[in-house]
Structure 1
Amino acid sequence: MKNETLITAEGLKELNQELDYLKLVKRKEISEKIKVALAFGDISENAEYDEAKNEQANVENRIAKLELMIKNAKVIKEVKNNGIVSIGSRVTIKDLEFDEIMEYTIVGSAEADPFKGKISNVSPLGKALLDKKIGEIIEVESPTGDMIKYEILTV
């Protein structure tokens, strides 16, 4: 499927929870804000009304995006730890230049969050790690164009 969203079971659960929250809680909150803003009268110069309508549009866009991602979700099977990096693998790597050790989980782009240690399988680092083994050295081009070497320590 061309539009499929690769995702872990945990990631799919998080998307469904966010969707439920937006539909059941956030929509009601925004609806109340709009009602309150309308009570102020003239909506042509009503900042509260404009803000609430913008928030409503953003939430509805996010709901549509989540629904599409969930509809097209392809849950990644739990990986067997065979020492080869695949989507769903937890990988420890070492930056050979700075002697820095990092740990990432390779996930589909829908649930990538580098601040939580989840990198996309289509990111430069994620792509470079896929199908590699413990002990291998990979090279990844940084955003500045420099090549960074990493050693895979654990999978």
Structure 2
Amino acid sequence: MDELPITLAGKNKLEAELNQLVKVEREELKVAIAEARELGDLKENAEYHAAKEKQGIIEGRIAQLQGILARSRVVEVSKIKSTKVVFGATVSLLDVEKNVNITYKIVGEDESDIRDNKISYNSPLGKALIGKEEGDTVIVKAPKGDIEYEIESFEFVD
């Protein structure tokens, strides 16, 4: 089984979600299913079927999170010393065509969130940035065409 890199913050977020699902939502569902059973005939009981369906979704997510956490290896980003962009780097880029600055943090697949400016090391941009240095230019193939970025700076902060 391959280990997947994850930041400490990403691991903590996944553990918090898992804890919420196991200790709160799973327990609430047990009560909802018990109450729905008391309503009688299970074949025509919409509340029971809805609760069982939700239970399946929650149990699936719990198993998924447990699998992710089991194969994850925490990378302590603040301890990284590198002259090249690697996993965990927070990279400041210049979109050459639009002349716009943007900053992304390179994180694990399961913690990436573009709204939070966190991109996966496996994403096209993440792959293009890994191994590059300050001042390098990278070209990312996107559906709307190639996008050119210049690496202005990068740092390793948690």
Q: TM-score, normalised by structure 2?
A: 0.89
C-alpha separation in 2, matches of 1:118 and 1:102: 11
Distance 1:81 1:117 in 2: 22
Per-residue deviation, residues 24-73 of structure 1 (Å, max 9, x unmatched) = 00101111221222222222122221111111111111111111111111
Structure 1 counterpart of 2:103:
103
Q: Distance in 1 between matches of 2:6 and 2:99?
A: 31
Percent identity, please: 39
Q: TM-score, normalised by structure 1?
A: 0.91
**Corresponding residue SS for 1:86:** coil
Q: List per-residue Cα deviations over 1:76-102 (Å, max 9, x = no partner).
A: 132535442111100111111112221
Does residue 68 (structure 1) correspond to residue 48 (structure 2)? The answer is no
Gaps of 5+ in 2: none
Matched residues, number = 153
**Quick check: 1:92 aligned with 2:92?**
yes
Moved more, 92-101 or 81-90: 81-90
Q: Is the 8 A contact 1:5 1:110 kept in 2?
A: no
Alignment of 1:2-151 (within 5 A): 2=2, 4-78=3-77, 79-80=79-80, 82-144=82-144, 146-151=145-150
Q: How far apart, CA to CA, are the structure 2 residues paired with 1:47 and 1:117?
A: 41
Please tell me whether the aligned partners of residues 6 and 110 of structure 1 are also in contact (alpha carbons under 8 angstroms): no
Structure 1 segments (4+ residues) deviating >3 Å: 79-83
